[in-house]
């Protein structure tokens, strides 16, 4: 089954000094002041970082970096590969080798 396209849009469009200001508020632990902090910039900054992480995971998963072709074509191996981090078919359950 193919990976679905991303549903969320950009969380903010801040860049440069505006982004640095947002990061400084996050680094200064402004999350503890949220009831008095009207624009929630520190929270938005952290959400943006999470989104970038998720996008990177999507890129990695949808690429062929995880697939190890075998003699049967692009199907996954049915035995645990000797190198760590490889996908394999463990009796119908997708597993990751630990080397």
Domain boundaries, the chain: 16-63, 66-99
pTM value is 0.39
7-39 per-position pLDDT tens digit: 667 777 888 998 888 888 878 876 666 665 556
Neighbours of 41 (CB within 10 A): 20
Q: Give the per-residue pLDDT at 61.
A: 76
Tokens matching residue 61: 């998963």
38-92 per-position pLDDT tens digit: 567 777 777 888 888 888 888 877 776 556 554 443 577 788 888 888 888 888 7
Taking each helix axis from N to C end, the angle separating 41-62 and 16-27, rounded to the nearest 10 degrees, works out to 110
Given a cut of 50, whether residue 1 has pLDDT beyond it is no
Neighbours of 49 (CB within 10 A): 13
Question: Considering only CA atoms, which of 48, 21, 43 is closest in space to residue 32?
Answer: 43
């Amino acid at each position: 089954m193919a990976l679905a396209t991303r549903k969320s849009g950009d969380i903010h469009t801040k860049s440069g000094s505006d982004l640095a200001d947002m990061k400084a508020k996050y680094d200064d632990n402004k999350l503890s002041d949220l009831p008095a902090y009207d624009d929630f910039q520190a929270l938005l900054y952290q959400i943006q970082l999470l989104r970038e992480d998720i996008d990177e995971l999507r890129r990695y998963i949808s690429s062929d970096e995880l697939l190890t072709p075998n003699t049967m074509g692009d199907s996954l191996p049915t035995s645990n590969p000797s190198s760590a981090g490889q996908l394999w078919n463990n009796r119908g359950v997708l597993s990751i080798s630990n080397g």
